[in-house]
Chain A
Amino acid sequence: MDLLQEMSEALQSGNCEKVIALARQAVGTKVLPRDVLDNGLIAGMNVIGDKYKHHEIFLPEVLLAAKAMYAGMDVLRPLFLKDEMPTLGKVVIGTVQGDIHDIGKNLVAIMLRGAGFEVVDLGKDVPAEKFVEVAVQEKARVIGMSALLTTTMPAMKDIVERLKKRGLDSKIKTIIGGAPVSADYARHIGADAYGYDSVNAVEWIKKLTKKS
């Protein structure tokens, strides 16, 4: 079997050791690190994302595959010039202030990295200003906000408004997600998109970063 295909499959079954070994083997030969990333790791995560979307697999399989993906990325990172992995763009994400639920947000981070985005994960209970500050600092193209609680949703509106006030809303796009929010709510607060699950969030972020 093709080495990268084998790596993609090892990643899908969450086999960290095998992914690390194959990544080392691949970069030891003449395969470009970029190819390993795209056709090994990202290809594997694409399959995982797709299967998750279609309920063929559940959270545990995704979490294990993500571990394998991170392990593979650690092997590749030193091989890219200037310490920079090729990226589709930078996304700042976090769970909004007052909310400590981060499983959904973490899943989006996994899927984004798996799709080739660079993710700055601010964690949970993140103040509105911090989203904006870090996004500007990091030259991020998208801010992703998550909330599980109906009580913390208004914080999303606050973040979108802060961007608008500073005229940053054309440069930095916004996407929201989480159990209580909806496409309607995104429109209502002026966010650019709503991701109904982690895979859908990545699809939207791809669209948002393409336009600008």
Chain B
Amino acid sequence: MTKLLERLAAGDILVADGAMGTMLMERGLQIGQPPESFNLKNIGVLGEIAREYLGVGADIVQTNTFGASRLKLSQYSLEEKVEEINKNAVLAVKKAAAGRAYVSGSCGPTGEFLKPYGDIEPKQMVDVYEEQIGALIDAGVDVICIETMTDLQEATYAIKGARKVSSSIPVLATMTFDSTPKGFYTVMGVSIEEAAKGLETAGADVVGSNCGNGIANMILIAQEFKKYTNLPVIIQSNAGMPVLKADKVVYLETPDFMAEKAGKLISLGVSIIGGCCGTTPAHIRALRKAVDTGRS
């Protein structure tokens, strides 16, 4: 398989997969149970989900390791299982992908604040990510995806952790922005310009945004990223923002709607297009089609 960064450099547009949490819930994830517990007890499900996304044409499939850092897992007293949880997730997806798609190791925020806002020292933050990313890389992921970040400092330490393990593994780094009257900012006050430049300086190979917005806002976010970086840009949009309908949370953006809007992402030169909360294999199938049409 051609290396991911080479394909992006050649102008290829890749399609990433969609939501994980909702897929796990459909398969028995209980309230209060960490999604990563499936990596210990329901490993079969992980391959099943990956195959769903592979089946609709995803080029990149993610591991179920968003919260698999020591700091996050310690909330569930699973901190001694960091290696096992990460490794099992990678092996399951790798087997399903069978060399047809890139396996992306997902790393979400630790949920803790760095000093002076919180208690975490920079070194501890780097160590935490180095440990998780080390386990992901040892198990054979093709790329690392540091995602849903709101603190540029934490994202920087995560990238640093990745680089301590490997200088060559492609690192995708995405942050989550809120729309404010003054433009897009993360809750920690990071602008798109700061994110684009900061993530690039920290050593990411692909930068962009995931979560927090539907696809209309993501187009605006992508536009700004393109203004401030020459790196390839990744956009993983929610299927809109969650709304409640009769006690159930639903995401209203349909596969067709997202696919139609994705045309704009393609014309902006976004390199990786995928889904986040509320997206399903149907959404990814539609995005796949949009990318294939937009390219030809």
Q: Is A64 positioned at the interface, with any CB of B under 8 Å from its CB?
A: yes
- Chain B positions within 8 Å of A99 at CB level: 32
Give Cα A184–Cα B187 distance, bound, in whole angstroms. Answer: 24
Interface residues contributed by chain B, number (CB under 8 Å):
26
Contact between A55 and B180, CB atoms less than 8 A apart: yes
| Interface flag for B6 (CB, 8 Å) | no
Cβ-based interface call for A80 (8 A): no
The residue that B189 contacts in the complex, of A60, A67, A149, A180, with Cβ under 8 A, is A60
Q: B36-44, B111-119, B284-292: which lies at the A interface?
A: B111-119
Contact B32–A125 (Cβ < 8 Å): yes
Give the interface segment out of B85-93, B225-233, B242-250.
Answer: B242-250
How many chain A residues touch B (CB < 8 A): the figure is 32
Task: Given A125-B32, A152-B32, answer yes or no on A63-B249 (Cβ-Cβ < 8 Å).
Answer: no
The residue on A at minimum CB distance from B186 is A58
A99-132 interface with B by 8 A CB criterion: 99-101, 103, 125
A185 within 8 Å of B (CB atoms): yes
Whole-angstrom CA separation of A153 from B113 in the bound complex: 25
A182 within 8 A of B: yes
Judge whether B189 and A63 touch: CB under 8 Å: no
B181 within 8 A of A: yes
**Using Cβ atoms and an 8 Å threshold, which residues of chain B touch A13?**
none
Query: Which residues of B166-213 have CB atoms within 8 Å of chain A's CB atoms?
Result: 180-182, 185-189
| B1 within 8 Å of A (CB atoms) | no
- Give min CB distance, B56 to chain A, whole Å: 24
Find chain A residues with CB under 8 A from B186 CB: 58
**Chain A contacts for B185, CB-based, 8 A:** 55, 58
CA distance A125 to B33 in the complex (A): 11
Interface string of B116-142 (1 = CB under 8 A from A): 111000000000000000000000000
Whether B25 is near chain A, meaning CB under 8 Å from some CB there, is: yes
Distance of A180 from chain B, by nearest CB (Å): 5
B188 contacts A98, C-beta separation under 8 Å:
no
Distance between Cα atoms of A117 and B8 in the complex (Å): 54
The docked-state distance in angstroms from the alpha carbon of A60 to that of B118 is 10
Tell me how far the C-beta of B32 lies from the nearest C-beta in chain A, rounded to whole angstroms. 3
Question: By DSSP majority rule, is chain B's interface helix, strand, loop, or mixed?
Answer: loop
Give min CB distance, A35 to chain B, whole Å: 29
Closest to A56 in B: B182
* B32 engages A55 (CB within 8 Å): no
Is B10's beta carbon under 8 Å from chain A?
no
Q: Which of A58, A63, A97 contacts B113 (CB 8 A)?
A: A63
Q: Flag if B117 contacts A188 (CB, 8 Å).
A: no
CB closest chain-B residue, reference A98 = B32
Residue of B nearest to A184 (CB): B244
From B111, B117, B150, B180, A101 is in contact (CB under 8 Å) with B111
With known contacts A60-B117, A64-B117, A152–B31 Cβ distance under 8 A: yes
The 6 closest A-B pairs by CB, nearest first: A98-B32, A58-B189, A150-B249, A63-B117, A55-B180, A98-B31
Known contacts A67-B116, A100-B111, A151-B25; 6 additional CB pairs below 8 A are A55-B182, A64-B117, A99-B32, A149-B31, A151-B29, A154-B247
- 23 A-B residue pairs with CB within 8 Å: A55-B180, A55-B185, A57-B189, A58-B186, A58-B188, A59-B117, A59-B187, A63-B117, A64-B116, A67-B116, A97-B32, A98-B32, A100-B75, A100-B111, A101-B111, A125-B32, A150-B242, A150-B249, A180-B242, A180-B249, A182-B244, A184-B244, A188-B247
